[in-house]
Structure 1
Amino acid sequence: MTTDQTLVPLPSARSLPVVFGAGAAIGVLGGMIGLGGAEFRLPLLISLFGFAALSAVILNKAMSLMVVLAALPARLAAVSAPELATHWAVAVNLLAGSLLGAWAGASWAVRMRSSTLYKVLAALMVLMAAALLFTHFSTMGTLDLPMWAQVPIGVMAGFGIGVVAAIMGVAGGELLIPTIVLLFDLGIKTAGSLSLLVSLPTMLVAFARYSRDGSFAVLGANRRFALVMIAGSIVGATLGGLLLGVFPELMLIPALSVILLVSAVKLARHD
């Protein structure tokens, strides 16, 4: 798949303050709900900055990876490493599927026609909107499954999450956190930290697969663009974290879900 026409952002995106501001806005949105914001960054890369679908996914993956690395120390401060180590089996269970899913998802993405990839991304954004609403408004119990069922279901869930994360270029926390809570009966805070530990190697596998495709050149051609947006995202996520709880979830989460749904409609109509 060739993406040469999208290696340079549109004129509106050449201003580095605009790029930084866009990254910061995305970071604030993600920070206010405890996520990285990559699901909001993807449609912006396509609609505002003019990248083709696969180029946007690869850029989004690189930025998500850096944002997760920046968020990891703060998460380890909130939930200690020794505490997380007691749940190593949960991470291994999910990784057994997510690593394979990440490779498969990235492989499918680079082989898709652009028109097909836009529609797939639109469908996955609808899934993310649903996951966002479910995670924040449902009373999550647990499935309370026996070990013989829990392990294979964890692998299958991890595979599906790995596929989605690779195709969208996101960390996958929106799907990992409710999965960990429902399947393994862990608290939200612990699930959030474990999701980062699963996301990081999963993203690295997808990144490695994308690096084998010619479209990976979009990173080298837009290095400054990516670094500035990453900086904006990290600053915004920090600010968003400070604003956590300022806006009631009853208003914030539906509004963000509507943003995802509107973006999905636009992507579905993209040629």
Structure 2
Amino acid sequence: MAPDDSAIPARVVTSLPLAFTTGAAVGALGGMIGLGGAEFRLPLLIGLFGFAALAAVILNKAMSLIVVLTALPARLAAVSPVDLGAHWTVVVNLLAGSLLGAWAGASWAVRMRGATLYKVLAALMVLMAAALVLTHATTVGALPLPGPVRAVAGVAAGFGIGVVAAIMGVAGGELLIPTIVLLYAIDIKVAGSLSLLVSLPTMLVAFARYSRDGSFVVLRSNLRFTVTMVAGSIAGALLGGLLLGVIPDRGLVPALAVILLISAAKLARHAPPDARQAGLPDN
């Protein structure tokens, strides 16, 4: 059962053009740095559109899942199946932890009080800002670990990433890519495609867990809003992909990290919406 007010959307801006525009902006930002951008969508769902924390997470998870499925063929085409198949043990190793982490994270999210979930989301956004800078602004080197130690570390890292991805409603590529490079000494381009093979099943598990909770109704009651924002995100991602490299990472990544930190500060101070407020009717 969902906690007190966490699944109830507050007064929500119902403008579909605004949903498309903000979705496109998020998609473009993500596309320019090679990510989905869901971590930027979450604070918009809460701060601009007025959804309560858990409702925003569920909507974000649904949108992230659709965006990843749409982008999957193109992203996987960038790396040959032979290269990906050579690293199947990496995917299995991380999935052994991430699937459990996704279920656990979603279970914890639906049980948290609204005020607690806002603070947890704020802390995780700080983590995402750090991961963004680490991945794009520094050179990540591999850790010289023995095989058994690497396997245990992979399961532990996968579990943590699954938890974070489930609670935030994101794919988790921001954390998966540097983890794959650090633990398995794999080229970052190949790591990007491998991360999709890990994140997709992980997202499906989290989504399945959320679907068992009463708060999942927010997705059905805001279906047109969700579809419109997803369409904007996909269009924005295509534009961002075309702009990839046009704006140097040296300036873009720190700016995006600052946006995440500002959003985190606002979420930490965010007051849960009044539980008496009705949800947004889809229009």
**Equivalents in 2 of 1:178, 1:7: separation in Å?**
34
Q: Assess if the C-alpha contact under 8 Å between 1:106 and 1:163 holds in 2.
A: yes
CA shift, 1:15, in A, is 1.6
Match of 2:191 in 1: 191
2:131 is aligned with 1:131: yes
Give the letter aligned to residue 179 of structure 1.
Answer: T
Q: What residue number does 2:76 align with?
A: 76
8 Å Cα contact 1:110-1:213 kept in structure 2:
yes
For the 8 Å contact 1:39–1:168, the answer to whether it is kept is yes
**Structure 1 residue aligned with 2:163:** 163
Number of residue pairs aligned between Structure 1 and Structure 2: 269
After the TM superposition, which parts of structure 1 deviate over 3 Å for at least 4 consecutive aligned residues? 2-9
Counterpart in 1 of 2:146?
146
Q: Which runs of 5+ in 2 are unaligned?
A: 272-283
Contact 1:119 1:268 in 2 (8 A): yes
Residue number in structure 2 paired with 1:249 = 249
d(CA) in 2 for partners of 1:4 and 1:137?
36
The structural deviation recorded for 1:106 is: 0.3
Pairing 1:248-267 to 2, within 5 Å after superposition: 248-267=248-267
CA distance in 1, matches of 2:148, 2:49: 48
Partners in 1 of 2:14 and 2:209 — Cα distance?
29
**Hey, what does 2:54 align to over in structure 1?**
54
8 Å contact 1:29–1:240 — kept in the other structure? Answer: yes
- The amino acid that maps onto 2:106 is A
Which residue pairs with 1:31 in the alignment?
31
Unmatched runs of 5 consecutive residues or more in structure 1 = none
SS at match of 2:141: coil
Query: Counterpart of 1:161 in structure 2: which amino acid?
Result: I
Alpha-carbon distance in structure 1 between the residues aligned to 2:7 and 2:172: 29
Aligned letter for 1:32?
M
Q: Percent identity?
A: 74
Match of 1:102 in 2: 102
Query: What is the one-letter code of the residue matched to 1:85?
Result: G
Cα deviation digits, residues 208-247 of structure 1 (max 9, x gap): 1001110000000000000000010000001001001111
How far, CA to CA, are the matches of 1:5 and 1:99 in structure 2?
Answer: 24
Query: TM-score, normalization: structure 1?
Result: 0.97
User: Would the aligned equivalents of 1:2 and 1:215 in 2 still touch at CA under 8 Å?
Assistant: no
**1:69 shift after superposition:** 0.4
Task: Write the letter of the residue equivalent to 1:43.
Answer: P
Partner of 1:115: 115
- In the TM superposition, what is the alpha-carbon distance from 1:81 to its structure 2 partner? 2.0
Query: Which amino acid in structure 1 is aligned with residue 122 of structure 2?
Result: A
Q: Is the 8 A contact 2:38 2:60 kept in 1?
A: yes
Q: How far apart, in 1, do the equivalents of 2:87 and 2:224 lie?
A: 39
Question: 1:166 aligns to what SS in structure 2?
Answer: helix
Quote the residue 2:179 is aligned against: 179
Work out the CA distance in 2 between the residues paired with 1:4 and 1:113.
7
Please state how far the C-alpha of 1:2 moved relative to its aligned partner: 4.8
The CA RMSD over aligned residues, in Å, is 1.2
TM-score normalized with structure 2 length: 0.93
Deviates more, 1:37-46 or 1:14-23: 14-23
